[in-house]
Amino acid sequence: MKKACILTIGSEIVEGIIADENSVYLSKRLLELGYKVARIVSVDDALEDIISEIKRSVRECDLIITTGGLGPTEDDLTREGISKALGVDLIFDKALYEVVSEKVRKFTGKVVKSIEKEAMVLKGAKVIENGVGSAPGQLLKLNGKTILVLPGPPSEMKDVFERISDEIKIGEGYIVKILKFYGVRESILEDELRDIIYSYDKIKVATQASYTMGVWIRFTAPHENKEELCDLVRKVKDRKGSDIYAEDEETMEERLVSLLKIQRKTLSVAESCTGGLLSSLLVKVSGVSEVFKGGIIAYNESVKREILNIDEEILKNFGTVSEECVRGMSESASRIFKSDYSIAVSGVAGPKSFERKPVGLVYIDVYGGFHKTVERNYSGMRNVIRMKAAMDSMDLLRRMLGG
């Protein structure tokens, strides 16, 4: 099996300013294309560091993929690093410059001289169009090695990679299947599924848990074991299907929106401690306007009282962080937006307690002609609590919809 190396280039990754999303995506896709990922390295925007890592990767791997460092600024040095490491000239492509310039002009209304860097091509390389941004990718084959040069922004990287993926494919490779669970602990889930997931010799099993994203189980199998993998997944779904909120690249919000569309139901929200986070997650999904009517961020008590019409006696006797309050919030949102379902969230995200109630106490209610209310006691930092509440809210409705 041929080996691949992934080099993510950029000080923003090395310094921890942004997460390396590209390697996660590429690792999965390379397995599917027949490669074993041998190394993943983050490299600073320093020419000597880039040169050193390119030389090492060429010695150790058959396919070398770089992401980042293809922009027009002084610290974008990937092309120069590859050129010096491999002894391959960089050539200015005038026709490519015209294409890049036109894109930049549309984006910014102005083309500066430094954009010429994006039209510098490694001699002998194939230029790969960037359908999202301006900097194109490049594919160079040299002395039995393949070097694939990709832009850094994840949306651009994916666009360019998928345009060339068939050309670098070397076989059926491996099949990767991910099942995403919510509302069950990793250790308990593994124990309940142990007799199924570890009964196939050729299928590799890996689990990972997140406080906010639930438990993911990743199954990796050679393509010739596809039927066994399908059989394993079917058995897991039969046993724990209600806890599976999504598969592969799908997210909780995408699954929920899909269920609402299938059932032709609409949704509204009334948010307090999540402060619009739930709405933000929902509107990330393309086409959500078909089912999502809108929301009210009732962060202050006056909004609960004056807009959501929560009874004064409820606020006085039970407080804003209470089962009674979220039930009133959800009913009011459903009435205001004329939605089939509504979700209401109110709690104490911290860092200080509120209404003599502890940090982490959250009430969630889903209303659809009847109420489904839950009380949660979360731990963690403020924004972790907010994310947990948003995920739990969506999962509660997902289960009500039979998802």
Q: Where are the domains of the chain?
A: 2-168, 174-247, 252-400
Contacts of 174 (CB under 8 A, 6+ apart): 31, 32, 34, 220, 221, 222, 223
Q: Which of 167, 155, 138 is nearest to 78 (CA)?
A: 138
In CATH terms, the fold of domain 174-247 is Alpha-Beta Plaits (3.30.70)
Note the pTM of the prediction, 2 decimals. Answer: 0.84
d(CA 63, CA 52): 16
**Closest by CA position to 2, among listed 238, 167, 168:** 168
Q: May I ask the CATH architecture of the domain 252-400?
A: Alpha-Beta Complex (3.90)
User: Which of 21, 28, 3 has the alpha carbon at shortest distance from 68?
Assistant: 21
β-sheet bridge partners, residue 6:
40, 65
pLDDT in tens, the chain (403 residues): 899 999 999 999 999 999 999 999 999 999 999 999 999 999 999 999 999 999 999 999 999 999 999 999 999 999 999 999 999 999 999 999 999 999 999 888 888 888 999 999 999 999 999 999 999 999 999 999 999 999 999 999 999 999 999 999 998 889 999 999 999 999 999 999 999 999 999 999 999 999 889 999 999 999 999 999 999 999 999 999 999 999 999 999 999 999 999 999 999 999 999 999 999 999 999 999 999 999 999 999 999 999 999 999 999 999 999 999 999 999 999 999 999 999 999 999 999 999 999 999 999 999 999 999 999 999 999 999 999 999 999 999 999 999 7
- For the domain spanning 2-168, the CATH number is 3.40.980.10
| Angle (nearest 5°) at CA 296 between 337 and 252 | 90
